[in-house]
């Protein structure tokens, strides 16, 4: 079933009524529904509006990034920082390997519910942008993405000197201290 057909069905209209709402003809709607003609983005937006909906375009992987950030938030809420860090490392590796598009980080992925982890996610996004010669996403520099006091992600005191020395600059600038190696999935 085509997107246009789904939009029309959602509107509760027949083809003629839907076409009138969208400012086009019934034969044109029929052609869109059968896949004989593809509507342009402007037309698709008009057709969606006729169904009381909007077209929301996002880079491939945007939903996966949002879902992963939500999962990190859930792990933090369940007091499982080790699992939250593994999720963050996996997301970082998925982006580095191309399984998640770097462009998916352009859109703010939302909050984990914890400013420390939000700062970590912002730092990861900046690191990935630098690694790929991309602009840093504006959301990553928002006030809630930088900590006022230092946070060392590792709870092992014996590793703190190493963590402080090996933290990537975008994370250290946010007062988040974690080694680059900790952001690699195992």
Q: Which residues pair with residue 151 across a beta bridge?
A: 176
Residue 106 tokens, joined: 């352009």
pTM for the whole structure: 0.72
Question: pLDDT tens digits for 54-70?
Answer: 887 767 788 999 999 99
Q: Residue 159 is encoded by which pair of tokens?
A: 């590793």
Q: What are phi and psi of 167, to 5 degrees?
A: -70, 130
Cα-Cα end-to-end distance for the chain: 41
Q: Are 129 and 157 in contact (CB under 8 A)?
A: no
Question: Is the distance from CB of 150 to CB of 177 less than 8 angstroms?
Answer: yes
CA distance 107 to 28: 34
Positions in the chain whose pLDDT score sits under 70: 58, 155-158, 185-186
Query: Which CATH entry fits the domain spanning 3-50: 1.10.260.40, 3.90.1150.10, 2.40.10.340, 1.10.40.30?
Result: 1.10.260.40
Q: What is the pLDDT of residue 157?
A: 61
Q: Domain map of the chain by residue range?
A: 3-50, 62-183
Return the pLDDT at 76: 97
Please give the pLDDT value at position 186.
47
Give the pLDDT confidence score for residue 61 in this predicted structure. Answer: 85
pLDDT of residue 155: 58
């Amino acid at each position: 079933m085509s997107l246009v057909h789904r939009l029309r069905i959602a509107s509760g209209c027949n083809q003629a009524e839907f076409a009138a709402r969208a400012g086009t003809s019934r034969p044109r709607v029929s052609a869109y529904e059968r896949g004989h003609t593809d509507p342009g983005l402007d037309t698709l937006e008009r057709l969606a509006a006729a169904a009381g909906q909007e077209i929301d375009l996002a880079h491939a992987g945007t939903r996966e990034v949002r879902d992963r950030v939500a999962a990190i938030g859930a792990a933090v809420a369940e007091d499982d920082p080790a699992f939250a860090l593994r999720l963050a490392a996996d997301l970082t590796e998925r982006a580095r390997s191309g399984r998640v598009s770097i462009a998916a980080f352009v859109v703010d992925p939302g909050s984990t519910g914890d400013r420390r982890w939000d700062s970590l996610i912002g730092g990861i996004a900046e690191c990935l942008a630098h690694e790929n010669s991309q602009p840093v996403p504006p959301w990553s520099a928002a006030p809630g993405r930088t900590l006022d006091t230092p946070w060392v992600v590792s709870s092992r005191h014996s590793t703190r000197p190493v963590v402080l020395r090996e933290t990537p600059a975008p994370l250290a600038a946010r007062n988040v201290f974690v080694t680059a190696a900790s952001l690699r999935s195992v």
